[in-house]
Amino acid sequence: MDNHATTGIRIGVNPLFWMNSDIPSLGEHIPVEQGLSEAALIGYAGVELEDAMRTPLTQTPALLRQRSLELVGGWHSTFLLKNDFEQERQRLIEHLQFLKAFGSDLVILAECSGSIHREPKTPLSKRPSLDKDGWQRLCHGLERLVEIATDHGMRTAYHHHMGTVVQTEHDIDKLINSTTHLQLLFDTGHLVYAGADILSVWEKHSSRVGHIHLKNVRYPRLNAQLRDGASFTDSILAGVFTVPGDNGSEDNEGLEFLPLMKALVRARYRGWLVIEAEQDPRLAHPFAYARLGYQTARYLLSKAEMMTQLETPKAQNRETQLLAPLV
């Protein structure tokens, strides 16, 4: 399904609503087939790969095709700061082959040496950081992995992520400024959690953005987790993340996504817009939240297209609205 053929933007979903690679116990009672069927029923054009999908896909290669879903891409943990490069090269090639077998052309990279995002008792303040040599080794290694992926006909996008060496806006700036061909996965939820200015990051690096995760946060819960020095998994279980359109009972607890949607349209972004929200499916009904995120994204994208068409270049230059909590 072409969600927004006029803009070249397609709406996909990460099946974290139904299953979770970081906390495998979440959603373990839900069959993978159910999650994929519900994603297709909602109208999503594709899904990203979660660990729980690997065995069902291998056993039933037509699992996605039967539901008219594409495999958008899949996460790949790199350990360039820990392993020798040949080992990392082989690991990447194996993953590329799996993704290509199911029609994907995107691999999502994230350096996980020393990562704490899956450690339930480790506060995010303990996340790893890099010195000058570490940054040089990471960026050089990533560029080599991009070359390998390109040789295999695959695109790459780097996922900045809480609890890893690339987390903050400063980290993202350094990564992008120290690489040439690596593209960025732009994740709204992780940007906000890390204290970044979303539109600032977009304006600086939009030309390098190759993939987008559209994720909302519940500010009261996020602020509480930041105050308590929580781990990333604690934050997931506390319900920090949610979908676009879920802004609390007073409609003032989450992000206003329209400015970003307008920025995407103006920049002529072409690619996937993936709805994502790590939640406990026992507390947040997967189908209901996945549908809300999809419907909200379609509505806001259509509104952004219409508003942008009506604006003059002068009016666009004057606008300085920032992505911030609703007031």
Output phi, psi for 64, to 5 deg.
-80, -45
At residue 252, the pLDDT reads 77
Does residue 2 belong to any structural domain of this protein? Answer: no
Does residue 324 belong to any structural domain of this protein? Answer: no
At residue 55, the pLDDT reads 97
Q: How far apart are CA 47 and CA 296, in angstroms?
A: 18
Q: How far apart are CA 99 and CA 76, in angstroms?
A: 11
At residue 293, the pLDDT reads 98
Whether the per-residue pLDDT at 6 is higher than 60: the answer is: no
Range of the domain at 161: 9-318
Does residue 326 belong to any structural domain of this protein? Answer: no
At residue 318, the pLDDT reads 52
Whether the per-residue pLDDT at 282 is higher than 50: the answer is: yes
For the chain, give the secondary structure using H, E and C.
Answer: CCCECCCCEEEEECHHHCCCCCCCCCCCCCCHHHHHHHHHHHCCCEEEECHHHHHHHHHCCCCCHHHCCEEEEEEEEECCCCCCHHHHHHHHHHHHHHHHHCCCCEEEEEECCCCCCCCCCCCHHHCCCCCHHHHHHHHHHHHHHHHHHHHCCCEEEEECCCCCCCCCHHHHHHHHHCCCCCCEEEEHHHHHHCCCCHHHHHHHHHHHEEEEEECEECHHHHHHHHHHCCCHHHHHHCCCEECCCCCCCCCCCCECCHHHHHHHHHCCCCEEEEECCCCCCCCCCHHHHHHHHHHHHHHHHHHHHHHHHHCCHHHHHHCCCCCCECC
Burial class (CB in 10 A: 0-12, 13-18, 19+), 132: exposed
At residue 1, the pLDDT reads 47
Q: How far apart are CA 261 and CA 306, in angstroms?
A: 11
Does residue 213 belong to any structural domain of this protein? Answer: yes
Does residue 25 belong to any structural domain of this protein? Answer: yes
Angle among Cα 177, 84, 151 to the nearest 5 degrees reads 60
Confidence of residue 309 (pLDDT cuts 50, 70, 90): confident
At residue 327, the pLDDT reads 36
Q: How far apart are CA 271 and CA 3, in angstroms?
A: 11
Whether the per-residue pLDDT at 313 is higher than 80: the answer is: no
Confidence of residue 25 (pLDDT cuts 50, 70, 90): very high
At residue 310, the pLDDT reads 86
At residue 22, the pLDDT reads 93
pTM of the model: 0.92
Task: Taking residues 168-195, report their average pLDDT.
Answer: 98
Does residue 323 belong to any structural domain of this protein? Answer: no
Q: How far apart are CA 238 and CA 277, in angstroms?
A: 12
Tally of CB atoms within 10 A around 327: 5
In the block, tokens 């972004």 appear at 269
Does residue 327 belong to any structural domain of this protein? Answer: no
Nearest residue to 276 via CA among 30, 5, 50, 4: 50
Domain with residue 188: its CATH number is 3.20.20.150
pLDDT tens, residue by residue, 201-236: 999 999 999 999 999 999 999 999 999 999 999 999
Whether the per-residue pLDDT at 24 is higher than 50: the answer is: yes
Please state the domain count of the chain: 1
Task: Taking residues 168-172, report their average pLDDT.
Answer: 97
Q: How far apart are CA 261 and CA 247, in angstroms?
A: 17
**N- to C-terminal Cα distance for the chain?**
35
Q: How far apart are CA 252 and CA 70, in angstroms?
A: 34
Pairing of strands 216-217, 241-242: antiparallel
Does residue 255 belong to any structural domain of this protein? Answer: yes
Whether the per-residue pLDDT at 7 is higher than 80: the answer is: no
